[in-house]
């Protein structure tokens, strides 16, 4: 059994390493890539369980797509699987950001291929919305929940609007949907005991409470850095884009990183696959922009993601038990429909509005969608092709 778990952890690492190298487009696009690789291709969970894990990530602070990845890794190989998923998904972009901070400029941030990567994200998210919608919104009430959630997010932008839409979806589902309808959800054999879960939740709270005290009582910069990055990951809902302004407030005023360097790193982070919060490794490296800064970069990276890891492991057993009750299943059906609505809203803004600016952009997005949905080409191949096509389009228009 021990060797099986090790093999599963290696499998998880390799699967998410592939995703970490190819998942362009931000958190919403990541969910589309995850679904293709983990649900469709590997069959580790079904759409219903996947929707439940996405819903859980929306309730937790921190980078939502990374949290979904950790939860999927735990389902496959327990706590080691969650760690393997995070490492595989995060290391590629984190290492590139560290190299960027160290002055390695061998890559060309060409605006054309960046545009192509944004366009392929439209196809990835559109396919995820269509596929998940068919599975999770099979009737008019749940389709209505999805439409209502999308409307709510447009009316009330921001993380609070997303949380409110999910909460309303759960409440309306509990009140309206049949509490005995359908089979029980697929078991999530995550291998996380309740005792370990409680330990993780207590540790999360203790670190959040006492790291600021420790940083205030000592002059140790490493402890101050851990406090700043841990607090940023622990208290902000909405993923990497929402955490970044808080990180700026933590590192720029003390003079750890100057404003221009912060903005340069933020721009480079937009071009990379994987989680945007890998930007924290860049900030750590910029504090000492030499090879000696590598430990600081890894410390900041770990501190930024630690709250998400502790919360996912801490909540997973309780979430899995709760979703098995009849009333909870009805609520989860409403929540899953609301998640589809959130993805639908995000498909328009920021994915569509940030990528489609001209007829040729729309045409490339359609070609990418056909390649993914009907030709069944691998997403990594479509990503590379769209990046090249974006560079060609930019060259012609220039």
31-69 pLDDT per residue, tens: 889 999 999 999 898 888 898 888 888 778 778 889 999
Structural Rg of the chain based on CA atoms: 21
Residue 233 has pLDDT above 90, yes or no: no
- Mean pLDDT along residues 319-340: 77
Contact assessment for residue 147 and residue 341, using Cβ atoms and an 8 Å cutoff: yes
| Least confident stretch, 136-140, 162-166, 169-173, 265-269 | 265-269
Structure tokens at 346: 């995000």
Give the whole-angstrom CA distance, residue 42 versus residue 187.
16
Return d(Cα 285, Cα 291) in angstroms, integer.
8
DSSP class of residue 357 equals -
Neighbours of 396 (CB within 10 A): 9
Between the two ends of the chain, the Cα-to-Cα distance in Å is 59
26 dihedral zone (left: phi>0; alpha: psi -120 to 50; beta): left
Residue 240 has pLDDT above 60, yes or no: no
Cβ neighbours of residue 253 under 8 Å, at least 6 residues apart? none
State yes or no: pLDDT of 82 exceeds 80: yes
User: Residue 165's pLDDT is what?
Assistant: 84
Is residue 3's pLDDT more than 50?
A: no
Sign of the CA dihedral with 233 first, then 235, 240, and 241 last: negative
**Helices then strands (H, E): number in the chain?**
17, 0
At CA 125, angle to CA 152 and CA 264, rounded to 5? 90
Question: Residue 254: what pLDDT?
Answer: 85
Phi, then psi, of 377 in degrees rounded to 5: -75, 150
Distance CA 79, CA 9 (A): 9
Maximum mean pLDDT: which of 106-110, 324-328, 394-398: 324-328
- Report, as an integer, the average pLDDT of 250-256: 85
pLDDT tens, position by position, 263-310: 667 766 766 788 888 989 989 988 876 655 788 999 999 999 999 999
- pLDDT score of 106: 42
- 104: pLDDT strictly greater than 50: no
Which residue has 């998210």 as its token pair? 125
Above 90 in pLDDT, residue 312?
A: yes
Q: Tell me the angle at which helices 111-136 and 27-34 cross, rounded to the nearest 10 degrees.
A: 60
């Amino acid at each position: 059994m021990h060797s099986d778990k090790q093999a599963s952890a290696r499998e998880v690492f390799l699967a998410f390493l592939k995703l970490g190298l190819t998942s362009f487009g931000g958190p919403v696009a990541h969910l589309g890539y995850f679904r293709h690789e983990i649900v469709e291709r590997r069959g580790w969970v079904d759409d219903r369980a996947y929707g439940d894990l996405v819903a859980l990530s929306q309730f937790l602070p921190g980078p939502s797509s990374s949290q979904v990845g950790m939860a999927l890794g735990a389902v496959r190989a327990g706590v080691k699987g969650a760690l393997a998923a995070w490492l595989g998904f995060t290391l590629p972009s984190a290492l590139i950001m560290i190299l960027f901070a160290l002055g390695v400029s061998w890559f060309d941030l060409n605006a054309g291929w960046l545009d192509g990567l944004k366009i392929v994200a439209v196809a990835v998210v559109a396919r995820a919305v269509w596929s998940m919608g068919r599975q999770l919104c099979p009737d008019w009430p749940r389709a209505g929940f999805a439409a209502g959630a999308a409307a709510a997010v447009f009316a009330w932008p921001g993380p609070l609007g997303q949380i409110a839409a999910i909460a309303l979806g759960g409440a309306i589902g509990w009140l309206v949907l049949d509490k005995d309808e359908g089979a029980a959800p697929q078991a999530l054999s995550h291998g996380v005991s309740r005792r370990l879960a409680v330990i993780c939740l207590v540790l999360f709270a203790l670190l959040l409470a006492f790291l600021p005290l420790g940083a205030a009582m000592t002059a140790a910069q490493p402890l101050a850095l851990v406090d700043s990055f841990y607090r940023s990951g622990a208290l902000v809902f909405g993923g990497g884009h929402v955490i970044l302004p808080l990180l700026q407030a933590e590192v720029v005023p003390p003079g750890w990183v100057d404003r221009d360097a912060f903005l340069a790193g933020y721009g480079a982070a937009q071009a990379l696959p994987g989680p945007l919060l890998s930007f924290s490794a860049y900030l750590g490296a910029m504090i000492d922009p030499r090879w000696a800064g590598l430990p600081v970069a890894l410390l900041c990276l770990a501190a930024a993601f630690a709250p998400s890891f502790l919360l996912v492991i801490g909540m997973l057993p309780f979430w899995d038990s709760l979703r098995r009750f009849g009333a909870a299943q009805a609520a989860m059906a409403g929540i899953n429909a609301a998640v589809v609505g959130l993805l639908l809203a995000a498909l328009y803004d920021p994915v569509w509005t940030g990528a489609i600016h001209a007829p040729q952009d729309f045409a490339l997005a359609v070609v990418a969608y056909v390649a993914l949905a009907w030709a069944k080409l691998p997403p990594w191949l479509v990503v590379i092709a769209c990046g090249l096509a974006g560079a060609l389009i930019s060259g012609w228009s220039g």
